[in-house]
Amino acid sequence: MFLSLGYEGAETYIQSGNVVFEAAETDQGVLREEIHDAIEDEFGYDISVMIRTGEELGDVVAGQPFDTPGEDGTKHYVTFLHKKPTDEQVDALLDAQNEAESFVVHDRAIYSELDKDALGDGRFTDAGKPLRMETTRRNWDVVTAVLKLSE
């Protein structure tokens, strides 16, 4: 599908919904709309599409605020946003965090650290709800693997 849109070098990372590609178009809004429409036309899914350049994804990985992802009884995630949240949205998100999960917001990314024991007990916060915006969350291993694929 990405090749039919004129994008080059399209590669997917497992079945995670992540695609690395090259495009002449640099406007992320235009790319997002083209890809969204193609997915809807081809598969019938009206889904949110998030775009990051390789450099932006590298900045997300470099900015990871937590110590030793995954080595201390925690799971780490990044929630990607279309736009930077307002101060009010950040406050709402921070109010929603609990003892099992903590958040750090930076630009268009929310880093979260979750106690592994809390994964199955409903304390896993959907960051999009308090922000009232579309989001997509990826675990740390997927984020770093997609970055490697993009290099």
pLDDT band at 67 (very low <50, low <70, confident <90, very high): confident
Rounded to 10°, the helix 140-150/54-62 angle is 140
Cα distances (angstroms) measured from residue 22 to each of 25, 26, 57: 9, 10, 14
Question: Cβ(35)–Cβ(3) under 8 Å?
Answer: no
**pLDDT given for residue 71 in this prediction:** 66
Interval 29-40: pLDDT, tens: 999 999 999 999
Cα distances (angstroms) measured from residue 29 to each of 75, 98, 119: 31, 34, 33
Question: Cβ(150)–Cβ(20) under 8 Å?
Answer: yes
Q: Domain coordinates of the chain in residue numbers? A: 8-43, 62-150
The stretch 43-60 carries a mean pLDDT of 95
Buried-state track 72-97, b at ≥16 Cβ within 10 A, e below 16: eebbbbbbbbbeebeeebbeebeeeb
Q: What are phi and psi of 68, to 5 degrees?
A: 30, 75
Which one of 3.30.950, 1.10.287, 3.30.70, 3.30.110 gives the CATH number of domain 62-150? 3.30.70
Round to whole Å and give the CA distance between 22 and 29: 15
